[in-house]
Amino acid sequence: MDTPPQRTRIHPYKFTLWVAMGSIVMMFAGFTSALIVKRNQANWQGYELPMIFWYSTIAIVLSSVTVQLALKNFKQRNRAAYRQFMVVTAVLGAAFMAMQWAGFGQLTAGGVKLIGQGSNVSGSFLAVIAGMHLLHVLGGLVAILVMLRPRSGTRNYSAVPAEVLVTYWHFVGALWIYLFVFLSWVM
C-alpha cells in the first residue's frame, strides 16, 4: 500500500516574510505606476541618475553574494566565517546607503530639488521611491546587527532566522535592481 505524500509546511517566519515582501512589491508597484502617469505632465523635469548609483548597485549585488556565503557557513556551523561574511554584508549595505545619499547630493547640486518648496514632481518621486528603499535596506542592516550580537545560553541551532534574513536581503537587492533600471529608463 502506497503511503500518501507528506505535506511540508512553510515556517511561520518565512510565511510572514513572504506576505511582507508581497506588500512591499505592491507599494513599489504603486509608486512606479504613479510615476509613469505623472511623467506625462508638462512640468516634468528629466535628469540622469549620477554614476554613483551604478556603484551603489554593484555594492548591493556584492552584498547579496556575501550574505549567501554567510548563510552557507552558518549551515556548515562555521561561526567565524559566518560572522565575517555578515560583517562584510553590513559594510556593503552601509556603503550602498552612503552612495545613495551622495547621489542625492549630486542631484541637488545639479539643480534637481528633491523635496520641499521649489521641488519638481520628478525629483520628489525619486526621493520617495529611493528613500523608501533605503528604509528597507536600513531594516535589513538592523536585522544583520541583531544576528551578529553574541548569544548566551543554550539555544537550538536553527537556520530559519538566517534564512529569513538572507531572503529579505536578496529581496531588497533585487528590488533595487528593478528600481534602478526603471528610474534610469523613465528619468
Q: What percent of the chain has pLDDT over 70?
A: 94
The residue ranges of every structural domain in the chain are 12-16+47-150+158-186
Q: What percent of the chain has pLDDT over 90?
A: 75
8 A C-beta contact, residue 44 and residue 163: no
8 A C-beta contact, residue 68 and residue 162: no
DSSP line for 21-46: HHHHHHHHHHHHHHHHHHTTSTT---
| Fold type of domain 12-16+47-150+158-186 | Four Helix Bundle (Hemerythrin (Met), subunit A) (1.20.120)
Residue of 140, 132, 161 lying closest to 92 (CA atoms): 140
Q: When comparing pLDDT for 97 and 112, which is higher?
A: 97
CB atoms within 10 A of CB 114: 19
Question: pTM of this prediction?
Answer: 0.89
* Chain-centroid distance, C-alpha 134: 7
52-78 pLDDT, tens digit each: 999 999 999 999 999 999 999 999 999
Q: Report the C-alpha gap between 179 and 181 in whole angstroms.
A: 6
